[in-house]
Structure formats: structure tokens, C-alpha cells
Amino acid sequence: MPAVDTGLSAVRDAATSTLVTLDMPNRRGVGFVATPAGQLVTNLHMVAGCEDISALLADGRLLQVEQVIAFDEKHDLAVLQLPVANLPALRLESGMLPVEGDPLFILHPAPGAPPFLLETRVRSEQVLDESFTFLELEAVLPEDISGSPVLDATGAWIGVATCAFADGRPVTIVIPSRYVLPLLERTDALPLSTLGLARPAASRQRQIPTHSLSLLEGCAPDVLEEVAYTLLRTIQLGAPLYNRGDAASCYRLYAHTVERLIRERPDCPGVQEALRHGMERCARLQGADACAWALRDTLDGLLSVIGRWLQAQSALAYRAAPKAYLQ
């Protein structure tokens, strides 16, 4: 992964001044100063359970962290209070969240040397559930990147880099700054021992079916590619609807696509079977929210098996939609 060119050296220098190295018993981590008042942001999983945290600032000062402002188990975020103020802080972005293909820059801590910026791009926007949307990055970055600030092309802070796993494979995601901002508004400081109570919250229990490749026996590669494109396009349209709080429209869109493919694809009986099972599951549930997720599970399961089948057949390269993140 190449370091960013000299055109962004000013961005790098400004961001570097906010980076903080965290020393804890048996581990190290990284965070960054988000406000001049000394509020430090990092991933909760980096500091959960710690009652002894030292913070090494970019200017060389070593401080003892004694207070917690807030933590958010759902979004894997923690805000600590440094015992100093008037610190350099990052500039918050004021526009829309970056979209697929946009460049992003992440500060990478380098032991014994100044941090440097890594350049990557947004692979996709992912909706984990109704209260958590994040960005998946094209690059898979080292685990010590977790807690680092993520910057857009203007040098504005847009989120927190986090290393996670999706279906057993490592991924790097960005937790958007909008989930951090409410934590920064808290005013009651808590003792560091509060982190001993922090536990990762269970995410939505996905029920994505795992199909055998035999499900697609008799289906032509071009037909499966067309089905996969339809499913991906449906998710790309439905996920933003759900993220805006319109679960009913998301569900109707998913159901319309499922019903249409069942009707129009007698040449792929396995596809029809998988989609019928999804509709049957949905019929046993109550509410648009539950049904939207039941059909999303169905679409993701079918995309996965189509992707594996096409790879096995050495067909055109195809990337299946990511499934269960942070689980």
C-alpha cells in the first residue's frame, strides 16, 4: 500500500500532530485527539477492561489517562479524557460520507518513526442493521491501524479505522464520525475503571443460508451472472432505503425482486428454490423490519453460492456481497 504523495504532506503533518499512542498492560493501541479540550477517540476493543492507560502525545509528552467520557459498545468506540487542553485537533468533515471509489487516507503508526498516511479507497457502504452503517475499504490494513483517524481527500476527519472480520476473513472498515459526535458531547467524566464494564454488544443475528454448489446444477453461467447482478442492484437500492428508516420500502423492493425472479427463472430451479425458502421464512415473521432482513439474508446467501459456483467454473470474475460483519 503506497504512502500518499507529497501533495498531501500538509494533511499528513496536521493529522500526525493529533495521533496518540496508548500504552496498556500487555498491549498497545492508537487513538487521536478529536477536540482541543483533549477528548481522545479510539476503538473500544483496544481499551476495554483496562484500568491503566498511558498516552504518548505527538509532541513527546507522556500522560496518564484517568477519565472516560463515554463508550459505545455497538459501534466499538471509546472517548477518553486527556489531562491537558489546547491540543491540536482534527477538522471534522462537513459534507456527505464518501461513496464507493472515493479515496481515503489513514494515519499508520510506525514504532520508532513518524506516522505516515496510507491511501486506499471505499469498496462499498455496508448496512449491518438499522443502527449501524459503515464503509468497507479496498485495502486490508494491519491490525495496529485500529483506532486511527480516517481522512478524506481534503484532510477532513470522516471516521475511525477499525480492523474486523467478515465470514472469517480480515477487512478494514471505517466507523463514520456521526457515531462519535454524540459521545463527544457528553460532559460527565467517569473513572477509568468504567472500562471494566465494557463488553461488545451482540450484533443482529443474521441467518444467511449456506448453499451447496449443487443448488445451481443445470444453470448457465450467463444466467447466473444476470441473476447476481439483479440481486446486487436490488441490495444497492434497498440498503439506503433501510438506512433512512424506511424498512417497509426496502422490504417491498426485496420482495418484488424475489417474486419476479421466481416467476422468470424456470431455467434455474435452484435459484427459485432458495428464493421461495426466503419468502416462506418471511411469511412466518411480523413487521417490515424483520422481513427486510429475512430477504436480505436470502439474497446474500444466494449471492455467495453463485460467486463460489462461478469461480469454480472459471467464469468471469465476480465479487459476492459481504455478509456478516463484526460477528
pLDDT of residue 148: 92
pLDDT of residue 290: 84
Order the strands of the 39-43 sheet from edge to edge.
Answer: 62-65, 53-56, 19-24, 27-33, 39-43, 77-81, 67-72, 190-191
The residues, any chain, with a CB within 8 Å of residue 9's CB and separated by 6 or more, are none
Helix H or strand E encompassing 108: strand 103-110
Burial class (CB within 10 angstroms; exposed 0-12, middle 13-18, buried 19+) of 67: middle
pLDDT at 307 over 50: yes
| pTM for this entry | 0.61
Q: Are 76 and 44 in contact (CB under 8 A)?
A: yes
The residues, any chain, with a CB within 8 Å of residue 21's CB and separated by 6 or more, are 28, 29, 30, 55, 56, 109
Please tell me the total number of residues recorded for the chain in this structure: 327
CA 265/CA 260 separation, integer angstroms: 8
Top pLDDT among 289 and 321 is at: 289
What domains does the chain contain, in order, with CATH numbers? 1-201 (2.40.10.120), 213-312 (1.20.120.330)
Rank 22-31, 46-55, 250-259, 318-327 by mean pLDDT and report only the highest: 250-259
pLDDT at 169 over 70: no
pLDDT of residue 6: 44
Mean pLDDT of 143-164: 87
pLDDT at 3 over 60: no
What one-letter code names the amino acid at 38?
G
pLDDT of residue 109: 72
How does DSSP assign 258-312, residue by residue? HHHHHHH-TT-HHHHHHHHHHHHHHHTS-SHHHHHHHHHHHHHHHHHHHHHHHHH
pLDDT at 285 over 60: yes
Across the chain, mean pLDDT equals 82
pLDDT band, very low/low/confident/very high, at 165 (cuts 50, 70, 90): low
pLDDT at 248 over 70: yes
Mean pLDDT of 301-320: 68
pLDDT digits (tens, 9 = 90+) for 206-242: 678 888 889 998 899 889 889 988 998 888 888 777 7
The residues, any chain, with a CB within 8 Å of residue 41's CB and separated by 6 or more, are 31, 32, 34, 77, 78, 79, 147, 149, 160, 180, 183, 184
Top pLDDT among 19 and 131 is at: 19
- What does each C-alpha distance from 189 to 31, 67, 289 come to in angstroms? 18, 6, 36
SS3 state of residue 41: strand
Top pLDDT among 98 and 95 is at: 98
DSSP state of 12: H
Look at strands 149-151 and 132-137 and give their pairing. unpaired
pLDDT digits (tens, 9 = 90+) for 20-79: 999 888 778 899 999 999 999 999 988 888 889 999 998 889 999 989 999 998 899 999
pLDDT of residue 33: 93
pLDDT digits (tens, 9 = 90+) for 181-212: 999 998 888 888 888 777 644 444 567 888 88
What one-letter code names the amino acid at 119?
E
pLDDT of residue 180: 93
What number of other Cβ atoms are within 10 A of residue 13's Cβ?
Answer: 12
- What does each C-alpha distance from 254 to 136, 170, 182, 267 come to in angstroms? 23, 28, 33, 21
pLDDT at 82 over 90: yes
pLDDT at 90 over 80: yes
